[in-house]
Structure 1
Amino acid sequence: MDEVDRMIDMGFEAQVKKIMEVLPPGDMNPYYTGKGRPERLTMMFTATMPPIIERMTASYLNRPVTAMIGEVGAAVESVQQDAIQVPDDDQKKVKILKDIIKSHQFQPPIIIFVNYKKTCDYLSETLNEFGQRTVTMHGSKTQDQRELAIQQIKDGEADILIATDVAGRGIDIKNVSLVVNYQMAKNISDYTHRIGRTGRAGRTGTAITFWNAKFDKEVLTDLKEMIMKSPISQCPDDLRRHEAAQTIRNIDV
């Protein structure tokens, strides 16, 4: 089950448990040799491992093993992370975004993440007028429309994918040079998945996040800590020192 944590987040815990309960017996395991008691091989893939998934593995799996590449829940070391404090003004934010694009520092394909589909459509229209070739993905798009958008990016018919978190997981677009969080993710888990669209398959990538203390104060501490953990990133002083990024975590003893 791929991105099983997201399935739980979306309220499908009961359905996931039902799937686990009705899976076929172990003799369906392609690695079963026919010797001894058959056991089913069950695999879950995710970039984050919240406690509820750990509890499920203990409940349904025999001798569960966790294989980790890097640190669970952390961004990969091949992604250089940056954060830009932006004003609460879409025109000024768009200007910053346009400056990044027209710098030609980053080659297509580029992915821009937003939180709302209306922002997705607005940015697409604005950047198209700016001379960019964009496609969009959000919750109101059909599966065929989503697949077409991905294919256009892969075929070079479009340069920029503007998307909500529906594109944060489960898609693989090669050679994404830049991910822009035009709107910061609502939690650090989604942020991790978003920026994981770049820096894949041995390549390096860049993730730039626009942040505003008015809207993002709940995640600024996590964002600061995530950037500071990266060996190839440097946390900007305005984020590192901002009062909203100084939250002290409660530790259960």
Structure 2
Amino acid sequence: MIGQINVIAFDADDTLWVNEPYFQETETRFCGLLEDYLPQHTISQELFKTEMANLELYGYGIKAYILSMLETVLRVSENTANPEIFHKVIQYGQEMLNKPIELLDGVEDVLKTLFGKYRLVVATKGDLLDQERKLKKSGLERYFHHIEIMSDKKERDYERLLRRLDCRPEEFLMLGNSLKSDVLPVLAIGGHAVHIPYHTTWLHERIDHHVEGPRFYQMNTIADILQHLVV
């Protein structure tokens, strides 16, 4: 059992609901749109390069992604792209913003079981308006004591969250699909972290080393957490 837990925080994208497959689907369409300029795999690399360069300016989320796609079009085409391509890119982004929310298996059952027994929190990165919209459309908002939409998920961000919640690190448990964002910084500040892998992960969130430790837990599904808590 994981003891002394007071607050359980959940990542949102690809932990509570589907997200990354929509980005990959859009990237495939985007690369096809520019194949007259460069091979599709090269377009993909150029888009990722743009995203990384823009993180400090735009942060995470679909709106940032749209801006990076538009900038990539300008660079790859050397400012000669047909205006129709820009129209298509904006259309792709709007379609992403209007995607229905697809909850992952077991999510609502877990929240129902834990509700009232722990303080449940959403701790996720992304665009404020978009994440608020997704949470509202998901129907899960009523389960959460607190919603934290973070500009990033580094140690200082989690420390700020814990101060806001008046929660000690040893009382905090984070669940998410990203070792880089949901696990490592939480372990570093003395919290507990559960990694629930999703079948696809954004390149920026991948790490190339093994994680272990007494406060780290690897689980196959979100429902597995119920076997490790007092419910």
TM-score normalised according to structure 1 size:
0.28
Does 1 or 2 have the higher relative contact order (CA < 8 Å, sep 6+)? 2
Which structure has the greater CA radius of gyration?
1
TM-score normalised according to structure 2 size:
0.30
- Higher normalized helix content (fraction of residues): 2
